[in-house]
Structure 1
Amino acid sequence: MSESRLEPLLLGQRVVAILETGLRTATYKLGSLMALIDYAIEHVPDDPDASVEVPIPDLAQRVLELYWRQVRPFAGKELRQSTQARARIPRAAMELRAAAGIGTGGASLAVAATRAPTVYEKALDEVTLCLAQQPLQRLQRLPGATVSDCFLFEDSFLHDHVSRSTLRAHGDSIVLGPGVATGLARLAGLLKPALEIMWVEDVRRMNRFLDEDVPDVAGHLFGRERISLASVREPFKDAFGARCFYCDLPLAVDNPVDHVLPWSLLGIDGLANLVLACRRCNGDKRHSLPATSIVDRVLERDRDVLEAIAAEIEWPTQFDRVVAAARGIYRSQPDGSVTWAGVRSSQRLDLAFPHWWLDIDPR
């Protein structure tokens, strides 16, 4: 791989060119790239031109989380995600759901990992090997090409029959090239919606019963349906009061539960990223990036209280991941970016202003 850094725009163009060329036989490439983008956001290096090591098992956990909800029946049927007879990743997710006693329910992957740790580790190992043998070693290769254009990471040790021992010899990792992690993080808001569109198109193509009249396939695949946040509402009201986190007005009985770091940018459902909001604030904020002062407030909540709620309702806090994501998202934004500061109110981003979470070491 050349040590020269690709500019973010050129990086994004090459990613899209690879994905738009040829006919995918599975959605695994899209899932792998989404996982890479999320990892990059949470591990933006201090030096924007630095290389970043990415553990494949970490990618596997993120990919498994993507498919976790998608394997539930849609319109009474199982959605195919591959044209191959053996769909390794969805099958691993379904076997873990069965072992954890979740079935088609809405419990999170974190809950399943706690209930069935041995099967979870087996699923993670299977997805890790699948990523190495299939999408990762094809992610940078144009159809008909015999070698990859390694503009994201070096993949020469990956192939269809790569063994676990070979992966261990390479630290179970790939290494993103100079500036790639920073570039992917900066492009996340553009690339992820494009990947979702491609994913929906692939699923429609692989499932003939999905015609244009079938409602909200995208919602089923990418959480516009979302897991039910209702079980969070009352414990949060008991712990923090029945007032809007943003404007402090009293809340209605069925008020929204809002993702502080936008769901559309990084789908973190952990309690550390959730707050109670009124409908006015929730509707006005939508997919906007909140002002850093809002992130300060949400990360300064009592962690013991969050952990107690997590234990009570079997819901992870994901505090460390929220901190890492906040750091990566904001460090990837140019100074002066517009952020949401309240209803009809905005603030310009000033990264020179100190915030403890912006200085966390991402390694």
Structure 2
Amino acid sequence: MTSEAPDPLLLGQRVVAILETGLRTATYKLATLMALIEHCIENLPENPDDPLRVPLPELAHRVLRTYWRQVRPFDGHELRQSTQPRARILIATNELRDAAGRAGSVEIACLRAPTAYQKAIEDITLCLAQQPLHRLQKLPGADGSDPFLYDDGFLHDHVSRSTLRAHGDAIELRPGVAAGLARLAGLLKPALEIMWVEDVRRMNKFLDAEVPDVAGHLFGRERAALSAVREPFKDAFGPHCFYCAAHLPTNNPIDHVLPWSVVGIDGLSNLVLACARCNGDKSGALPAVGLVDRALRRDRIVLEEIASALQWPTQHERVVAAARGIYRGQPAGVPTWSGYRRRERLDVSFPSW
């Protein structure tokens, strides 16, 4: 293995080849890859050819966040996500949900039940090390893994907590891998979601072709839950569309400034009031940098007051980190959404974040 940074397209092809070869017995590999991509976006190295250290507890937190919505009953059933009798990550997720009173997010659960949260992170960290992380780079039938993403030589089915601690409770992505995964996020994440839905349908026999919107249950955002921020935002910032300043009706949309399909951040710093016209036109498009900059410059004290009243995190620093990673990973001059039926070429020269 050389230290030369990989070509992003080749990297993406290798990732998909690993996943498409052989039968997946759980959704854990998909969850791990999605968490890795998310971590790369939010922690992109200054030099794109550099390696990136990934703390396993942070990876576990991202995996926990992904399954948080998915463990809710769907059509009266608990969805299986593994062919094994004990799905350790789902068990850990459900135990925390019970301890935290079915909190709306992992961040709120962490505040309500810190001891249970820490146990869930420890359980998921060990499961990731013993299962998907040391199998993620191995083709079926191969004698060993091909560590093109990270060194997995110390990982195996029975790796202990002491061994993980001896390795700093972390893996290190190879040079250039973080930048490659971040740049491919817009292509890889939808592909992983499609595989995930296929796997869940295969593992749950009641999910035939007539059962609708499995994808929405697994990966969609809860619009009813987002509506809780509507009136506090109108009181604080006025009943106007963040993008075009149009006066808003009663049930206007709440928009994710950084697209939900790319980073899935529900923190208040990433949410704005929008009219239906702008919300529909923007959809999952990458917004112009100026719009992100304006959203991040809103009064943080006001946002924190709303967050306290709603028990809803602002996640300001996470939004800033994600914005840096998303835009630095884009080719120069790509089109971005700047308003209803308006586009402008990407320019990242001015924001302070």
User: How many Å separate the matches in 2 of 1:322 and 1:26?
Assistant: 30
- Asked if residue 309 in structure 1 is aligned to residue 309 in structure 2, the reply is no
User: How many Å separate the matches in 2 of 1:350 and 1:30?
Assistant: 33
- Asked if residue 281 in structure 1 is aligned to residue 278 in structure 2, the reply is yes
**Structure 1 unmatched ranges of 5 or more:** 358-363
Residue type of the alignment partner of 1:242: P
Q: Is the 8 A contact 1:218 1:224 kept in 2?
A: no
Query: CA deviation digits over 1:218-269, x for unaligned, max 9?
Result: 0000025556201110111111111010111110100000000000111000
Residue type of the alignment partner of 2:31: G
* Closer/same/farther in 2, CA of residues 92 and 98 from structure 1, 3 Å limit: same
1:182 to 176, 179, 182: 179
Query: CA deviation digits over 1:16-61, x for unaligned, max 9?
Result: 0000000011000000000000000111111111000000111100
Q: Is the 8 A contact 1:244 1:278 kept in 2?
A: yes
2:189 alignment counterpart: 192
Q: Is the 8 A contact 1:260 1:275 kept in 2?
A: yes
1:158-177 map, 5 Å: 158-177=155-174
Residue type of the alignment partner of 2:352: W
User: How many Å separate the matches in 2 of 1:252 and 1:286?
Assistant: 19
2:101 alignment counterpart: 101
User: How many Å separate the matches in 1 of 2:68 and 2:53?
Assistant: 25
SS in 2 for 1:356: coil
**Structure 2 unmatched ranges of 5 or more:** none
SS in 2 for 1:229: helix
1:234 alignment counterpart: 231
2:78 alignment counterpart: 78
Query: CA deviation digits over 1:315-352, x for unaligned, max 9?
Result: 0111000000000000000110100000011110123x
| Per-residue deviation, 1:146 | 2.4
1:361 alignment counterpart: none
Q: Is the 8 A contact 1:264 1:287 kept in 2?
A: yes
Q: Is the 8 A contact 1:219 1:225 kept in 2?
A: no
Query: CA deviation digits over 1:89-120, x for unaligned, max 9?
Result: 11111111111111xxx711111111111000
Q: Is the 8 A contact 1:83 1:206 kept in 2?
A: yes
SS in 2 for 1:236: helix
Residue type of the alignment partner of 2:220: G
- Asked if residue 257 in structure 1 is aligned to residue 254 in structure 2, the reply is yes
1:290 alignment counterpart: 287
Residue type of the alignment partner of 2:291: I
TM-score (normalizing by structure 2): 0.99
- Which deviates the most, 146-155 or 223-232? 223-232
Share of identical aligned residues, percent?
69
Query: CA deviation digits over 1:171-194, x for unaligned, max 9?
Result: 100000010000000100000000
1:1-363 map, 5 Å: 1-102=1-102, 107-225=104-222, 228-351=225-348, 353-357=349-353
Q: Is the 8 A contact 1:51 1:176 kept in 2?
A: yes
Residue type of the alignment partner of 1:8: P
Residue type of the alignment partner of 2:189: K
Moved segments of 4+, more than 6 Å: none
User: How many Å separate the matches in 2 of 1:56 and 1:349?
Assistant: 34
User: How many Å separate the matches in 2 of 1:227 and 1:8?
Assistant: 38
SS in 2 for 1:175: strand
1:360 alignment counterpart: none
SS in 2 for 1:228: helix
| Per-residue deviation, 1:354 | 2.0
SS in 1 for 2:184: helix
User: How many Å separate the matches in 1 of 2:314 and 2:218?
Assistant: 23
User: How many Å separate the matches in 1 of 2:81 and 2:119?
Assistant: 21
User: How many Å separate the matches in 1 of 2:121 and 2:255?
Assistant: 30
Q: Is the 8 A contact 1:137 1:158 kept in 2?
A: yes
User: How many Å separate the matches in 2 of 1:175 and 1:263?
Assistant: 27
Query: CA deviation digits over 1:278-337, x for unaligned, max 9?
Result: 001101100011101101100001111111111100101110000000000000001101
User: How many Å separate the matches in 2 of 1:115 and 1:224?
Assistant: 23
- Which deviates the most, 108-117 or 17-26? 108-117
Residue type of the alignment partner of 1:195: L
Q: Is the 8 A contact 1:137 1:159 kept in 2?
A: yes
Q: Is the 8 A contact 1:138 1:148 kept in 2?
A: yes
TM-score (normalizing by structure 1): 0.96
Q: Is the 8 A contact 1:258 1:276 kept in 2?
A: yes
Query: CA deviation digits over 1:141-198, x for unaligned, max 9?
Result: 0011121111100000001111111111111000000100000001000000000000
- The alignment's C-alpha RMSD in Å is 1.0
User: How many Å separate the matches in 2 of 1:33 and 1:137?
Assistant: 12
